[in-house]
Amino acid sequence: MWRAMGALLMRDLRIAVRHGGESLMPLIFLFSVLILVPLGVGPGPTLLSAIAPGMVWVAALLASLLALEHLFRPDLEDGTLEQWWLGHLPVIGLVLVRLFSHWFITGLPVILFAPLAAQMLYLPNEALGILMLSLLIGTPILSLIGGLAAALTLGTNRGSVLLSILVFPLVVPVLIFATGAVSVAADGLSARAHLTLLCALLMLAVTLVPLAVAAALKLNIE
């Protein structure tokens, strides 16, 4: 079972590498936001450091939306999703592998380049660790919620519009707690409460979302 799930993960990553332009889109989008927003609001360090947590997190959210429309649609069109239910592997495990590959492609690059983004936005050094930790906890939630939205809109013609409508309200708590954690850390206060709530949201999402995604996918092949 683990070998087959690993093979699925490697297949998804190979496809991402093959389409190198799409793989780099999250980073391109992140640095586009980091360059354009200071041009609009001004280069003042005080203002940029105040809005830095929100800018990084909004960029991470929008970057995660880029690949959601094609998360399951190619598998539905070529019949791969039907094979998921005909095979002997647990569908929930396959769903988790697919969602992990989405996070690996869209969330991990944002985490790795967050220190550079923080320096560009004059984020205080004492808040950098909390920013990295909040991204590490929160970006998997974005992939999980995005995967659920992608599964629910799989049978529609205008999936990208519905994706945004479904995702944005669900990720508001993540953005609030994550940006709040970085902001209080920048002020020299403890961010433990915000990070604890983020961990609770992650555990809830990991527990419930794969079940919901599997049920939504099954509806699209019946």
Among residues 204, 151, 150, the alpha carbon closest in space to that of 177 is found at: 204
d(CA 46, CA 25): 29
Name the pTM for this structure: 0.88
Q: What percent of the chain has pLDDT over 90?
A: 26
Confidence check: pLDDT of 29 > 90: no
Q: What percent of the chain has pLDDT over 70?
A: 89
What is the sign, positive or negative, of the torsion defined by CA atoms of 203, 9, 166, 106? positive
Question: In the prediction, which pLDDT does 21 show?
Answer: 54
Q: What is the pLDDT of residues 44-99, one digit of tens each?
A: 788 888 888 888 888 888 888 877 877 888 777 777 788 878 777 788 888 888 89
| CB neighbourhood size of 7 (10 A) | 11
Q: What is the pLDDT of residues 142-165, one digit of tens each?
A: 999 999 988 888 877 665 677 778
Mean pLDDT (whole number) for 190-195: 92
Among residues 93, 212, 92, 104, the alpha carbon closest in space to that of 151 is found at: 212
DSSP annotation of 43 reads: -
Question: In the prediction, which pLDDT does 199 show?
Answer: 96
Domain spans, the chain: 2-221
